[in-house]
Amino acid sequence: MNDTPGRNTPGSAPSDDQDGSAIPGQPSAPEPDGSGPQWSKDQPPAGRWSPPPGGPNRPQAPGRAWGNPPPQRGWGGYGAPAAPKPGVIPLRPLGVGEILDAAVQTLRRYWRTVLAVTVPVAVVTQVALVFVQRYLSAELPDLHADATPTEQLEAASAYLRASATELAPTMLVSVAASVFTSALLTIVVSRAILGRPVTVSEAWREASPRLPQLLVLSLALPLGAGALAFVAMLPGLLLGGAGGATLAFLGGTAAFVAIVWLLIRFGLASPALMLERQGIVAALKRSAKLVDGSWWRVFGYTLVMLLIVGGVSFAVQMVISVATQASVFGAPLAQHATPGTVFASVATMAITGGLLQFLTQLVLGPLLPLASGLLYVDQRIRREALDLELTKAAAGTDD
């Protein structure tokens, strides 16, 4: 077992003591008896990039042999051939910009499939959230200024019950939508890496058997994080006073650091569960093995992707909010404005803003699950030389 961070010698053992033959985009999982695809016996020497396996049908430039490419700056140093690129990524270790660019390329090339997944999910999610807010929201009791401590305690308990009543179904709906979207988009990006088309029905057939386990995994991580934060802050909450507040703050800070560390360590469990068809515990162990020794790199990539997607989404929402407020406050000041024109202007702006926000979520929402799948593949390329298997899979060879 080789857990050294960074790209190891091609053909080194997988980081989880498996045969490492699970290839994104391949419908079959490796068999326990070793009958699945194995590593090639002919491996390149350490520290070099080898060209993809050639053959008699390999297209070559006129007057030049495949083994003697012109000098160029490719992967592996000056004079080395560029990495093969059958799909949206070159088959070599990737940078954060290449991962984001590949996610956008996947969205552009497979936009029909992606929208066929995200649009129904977004509509159903919004309808479900409206239903929850309309019928499951509890009314809070009025608390007057001279309320007794008992009344204040009862009001606080009512507030907690109302929050739990509304938060639990809201969280369940959001997580279910995220699980469904992430599962199908992970299959889409696994095919996009090899440059192969995929339909919604094909993605559904491959992803549906793993949805229950993925749902449990997606619920376990935030619930575990919440339980850890509660346990860390509980002594300070029980102590009370200024000392208790300080102790609760320190406990919450320590829990926050631990939660971030654990979420990054187990951040690749979802694509591992989907693409390698493992169980929940095995997927968590698999993610921990892939991240081991590369925690800061995975953290940096994840943070950059969250900041970019979140920043763009926030900027769009701010533009919509400012435009809506300008419409609300500017319409009455317009010359010859009537109540009808004011209402029409405000309603039009509200509908336009809601539509723009919905379209923004449709565009930005798929980027994170797509980037997560690409980050998983990048880690396997770096640690297990998965690029060799992907090259053979893209060429349709098994040896």
Q: Is the pLDDT of residue 7 over 50?
A: no
* φ/ψ of residue 65, rounded to 5: -80, 155
- Half-sphere exposure in the Cβ direction for 354 (13 Å, CA): 8
Domain ranges (residues) in the chain: 101-140+147-371
pLDDT given at position 34: 45
pLDDT higher than 80, residue 221: yes
From residue 216, alpha-carbon distances to 211, 221, 223, 245, 376 in Å are 9, 9, 10, 34, 20
Looking up tokens 């889409």 gives: 188
Which position has the token pair 């049908």? 57
The pLDDT of residue 365 is above 80: yes
Backbone φ, ψ for residue 370 (5° rounding): -65, -45
- Distance in angstroms between the alpha carbons of the first and the last residue of the chain: 23
Tell me if 24 sits within 8 A of 377, measured CB to CB: yes
Q: How far apart are CA 207 and CA 102, in angstroms?
A: 21
**What's the CA gap between 113 and 125, in Å, rounded?**
19
Partner residues linked to 73 by β-bridges: 78
Between these two residues, 249 and 172, which has the higher pLDDT value? Answer: 249
Token pair listed for 214: 């993925």
User: What pLDDT, on the 0 to 100 scale, is given for residue 301?
Assistant: 92
Residue 111: CB atoms within 10 Å: 12
Is 289 within 8 Å of 15 (Cβ atoms)? yes
Q: With a threshold of 0.75, does the pTM exceed it?
A: no
Indicate the pLDDT class of residue 81, thresholds 50, 70 and 90. Answer: low
- The confidence score (pLDDT) of residue 185 equals 93
Q: What span, in angstroms and rounded, lies between the C-alpha atoms of 1 and 397?
A: 27
pLDDT confidence band for 278 (50 / 70 / 90):
confident
Of 120 and 360, the structure prediction assigns the larger pLDDT to 120
DSSP class per residue in 269-335: HHHHHHHH---HHHHHHHHHHHHTT-HHHHHHHHHHHHHHHHHHHHHHHHHHHHHHHHHHHHGGGST
pLDDT of 166 above 60:
yes
Distance CA 97, CA 113 (A): 24
Of 266, 270, 257, nearest to 291 by C-alpha is: 266
- Mean pLDDT score across all residues of the chain: 75
User: How far is residue 371's CA from residue 17's CA, in Å, rounded to a whole number?
Assistant: 26
